[in-house]
């Protein structure tokens, strides 16, 4: 028993000034890292939505799929990152405009910043109709 106590005595330092500062700063760093992670995931969702939208626009522009099929394709491919995504395709004067709406609450991982939860992000892509 005395060997255990003597082994634990080396952890009994009283000059723990760095530990007090660390305890004060660690929550701030954790909050910043969480905010950065949520922001990165939201930007990833935007980039992924743009890629999916451009692929569907291209398929619709060359006549491979109908408007409804392209909208369904976008929503289906985005369902893994945003189950509440919506897509609307409008064709006017030979220009295809697709608007995809994603709630940012679907994209953030932690939800630490509640002000991000009420924002809807829109991704807009335009392409010339080729058929």
pLDDT in tens, 28-38: 999 899 889 98
Q: Is 63 left (phi over 0), alpha (psi -120 to 50) or beta?
A: left
pTM for the predicted model, two decimal places: 0.78
- Which residues on adjacent β-strands are paired with residue 126? 97
The 10 Å Cβ neighbour count of residue 89 is 20
Whether the predicted pLDDT of 125 surpasses 80? yes
Q: Is the pLDDT of residue 11 over 70?
A: no
């Amino acid at each position: 028993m005395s060997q255990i106590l003597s082994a634990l005595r080396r952890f009994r330092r009283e000059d723990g000034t760095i530990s007090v500062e660390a305890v004060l700063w660690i929550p701030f760093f954790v909050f910043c890292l969480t905010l950065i992670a949520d922001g990165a995931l939201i930007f990833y969702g935007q980039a992924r939505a743009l890629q999916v939208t451009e692929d569907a626009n291209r398929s619709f522009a060359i006549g491979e799929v109908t408007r409804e099929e392209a909208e369904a394709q976008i929503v289906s491919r985005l369902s893994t990152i945003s189950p509440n995504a919506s897509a609307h395709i409008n064709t006017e004067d030979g220009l295809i405009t697709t608007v995809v709406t994603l709630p940012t609450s679907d994209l953030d991982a932690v939800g630490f910043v509640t002000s991000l939860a009420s924002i809807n992000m829109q991704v807009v892509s335009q392409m010339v109709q080729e058929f």
